[in-house]
Amino acid sequence: MGSVDACIEQPERKNISNCNSNLPCTHCPAGKGPGNPGCLEEIHKKVKDLYPRNFEGAKLIVKKSLSQHFNVTHSIIFSSVTPSGYRFGTRYIGTKRVGHLEKYPVICGEIVPNGNLTATLMHTLGCRYRLKLAAQVANQEYKAISSTLEYRSNNSTMSLTLANPSILKQHGTLVLHYLQAITSRMTLGAEMACQRGSTIPGHQQTIMSLAFRYSTGRKTLSTTVGEAGVHVCFHMKASHQFQIGVEIETNFRTHESEAAIVYQMDLPHSDLIFRGLVNSESTVSAVIEKKLHPFVDSALQISGLYNHKKEQFRIGVGLNVG
């Protein structure tokens, strides 16, 4: 069963103003301040967005807008790797505006014929507080549930996440994020995650890490360092048509490291987007997306992946309509 991603893309830096009960929530006008740095979960977002979304087999996705705020999605997937079959998804976007790009509330969901369901609710409390609820139901049981409360000031973001809580058993995961914009180019942050459970040594574990990001616009360097390992990403926009990213991740516990080079090439005259990947696990993959005219928001996708070490080759063809 597929997962539900964020339904709206949020800009990396925002300025947020105080609410006025008579006016819609809007961002502060551009000033000398560094601006809001976004959330810590998206500190490596520029590199992650370049990764090709590989798939195997065939898929057909048909999206239908029933109104300005509500649309439905029909998906048919045939694959020997991922679960095949039919999926039905919905998305609702409300009328409350925060800035120029964000609208709330946002409700997303996807269900399969056997009853497995994933759903996400995002809403804003005033202009500075955001609430996110996510749940996954499988085999008539809650498999995962999480709630996040986020506060955004003019130059910082703080969020608190509680995942899979069990009050009676005193199990669950608590994550605290803080991200501070020092200047318009430099951002510092910290993360503290506390997990309790019977399968954890000592029944409790706390992990702390620090985050750093330096961005000039065309180039961005982001790093997270903690007890579990080091994660470094570098993104560069070489031109309007070509972007490249490098990612290196080291795990101190397993003593393993992995590196990857990802890139994206946009050919607007041909309505073609090409994303590629080469990593240290001897994997080479790519996804080609060709827009289909005169159909609006329709595209043909071709995915290919080959792992030289495991000698595995996977290919997929997909069609998005609407």
Give yes or no for residue 16 having a pLDDT over 70.
no
d(CA 88, CA 106): 17
Q: Which tops the pLDDT comparison, 149 or 82?
A: 149
How does the average pLDDT of the chain come out, rounded?
Answer: 88
d(CA 276, CA 264): 7
Segment 288-304 mean pLDDT: 91
Give yes or no for residue 156 having a pLDDT over 60.
yes
Cβ-in-10-Å burial (0-12, 13-18, 19+) of 127 comes to buried
Segment 133-153 mean pLDDT: 92
**Which pLDDT score, from 0 to 100, does residue 13 have?**
42
Give yes or no for residue 284 having a pLDDT over 90.
yes
pTM of the model: 0.84
Per-residue pLDDT band at 259 (split at 50, 70, 90): very high
**Which pLDDT score, from 0 to 100, does residue 59 have?**
95
Per-residue pLDDT band at 228 (split at 50, 70, 90): confident
Give yes or no for residue 291 having a pLDDT over 90.
yes
Q: What is the DSSP string of 49-83?
A: TTS-----EEEEEEEEESSSSEEEEEEEEE-SSSP
pLDDT digits (tens, 9 = 90+) for 301-313: 999 999 999 999 9
Q: What percent of the chain has pLDDT over 90?
A: 70
Per-residue pLDDT band at 7 (split at 50, 70, 90): very low
**Which pLDDT score, from 0 to 100, does residue 233 have?**
98
Give yes or no for residue 19 having a pLDDT over 60.
no
Q: What is the DSSP string of 237-300?
A: E-SSSEEEEEEEEEETTTTEEEEEEEEEEEETTTTEEEEEEEETTSEEEEEEEEE-SSSTT-EE
Measured from the Cβ of residue 9, the count of other Cβ atoms closer than 10 Å reads: 12
**Which pLDDT score, from 0 to 100, does residue 204 have?**
87
pLDDT digits (tens, 9 = 90+) for 157-205: 999 999 998 887 778 999 999 999 999 999 999 999 999 887 777 778 8
Segment 26-31 mean pLDDT: 47
Give yes or no for residue 20 having a pLDDT over 90.
no
d(CA 84, CA 78): 5
Identify the structural domains of the chain with CATH numbers, from first to last.
Answer: 40-321 (2.40.160.10)
Give yes or no for residue 232 having a pLDDT over 60.
yes
Q: Which two tokens stand for residue 252?
A: 């101190």
